[in-house]
Amino acid sequence: MVGLVSNGLQATLSAEELQPDLILLDIGLPGLNGIAAARKITRIAARSKIIFISENQEPEVVREALASGAHGYIFKSHIASELFPAIEAVLGNCTFVSDYSTPKTLLK
C-alpha cells in the first residue's frame, strides 16, 4: 500500500503526487464524493486504474461510477471473494463489476 486517505480531496491530491497503478475508492467519501474524485483523478493521474468499493448496488450508480473513469466496481458484501479477481482483471486492462445475486441488465 502506498497511501491511505479519508476524503475525496485528499484522494485527488495523493493520486496526483503518487501516480499509483491502482486506486481503491469508496463512493461515499466526505467533501468530494468518490465519483467526483474519480473524474479528477482520471485527468491528473490518467494511468492509474480505479476500482470502486461500495455498498451501493443500484445499476445507475454503478454505471455512473464506471463512466467517471473507473475500471471496476465491487460491492462491499463481495469484497472477500472478489477483491483479488477484480485487481487482477483491472490491472490486466479489463473491467470488473461485482456479480448481482439477482441478475439485472447492467451495462448496455
Structure pTM? 0.88
- Render pLDDT for 38-56 as a digit per residue (tens, 0 to 9): 999 999 999 999 999 999 9
The SS3 of residue 25 is: strand
pLDDT band at 1 (very low <50, low <70, confident <90, very high): low
- Examine the pLDDT at 59 and tell me if it is beyond 50: yes
The residue extents of the domains of the chain are 8-97
- Render pLDDT for 67-93 as a digit per residue (tens, 0 to 9): 999 999 999 999 999 999 999 999 999
* DSSP label at residue 72: E
CB 67 within 8 A of CB 96: no
Q: What is the pLDDT of residue 40?
A: 97
CATH code for the domain defined by 8-97: 3.40.50.2300
- Can you tell me the distance from the alpha carbon of 41 to that of 102, in angstroms, rounded to the nearest whole number? 32
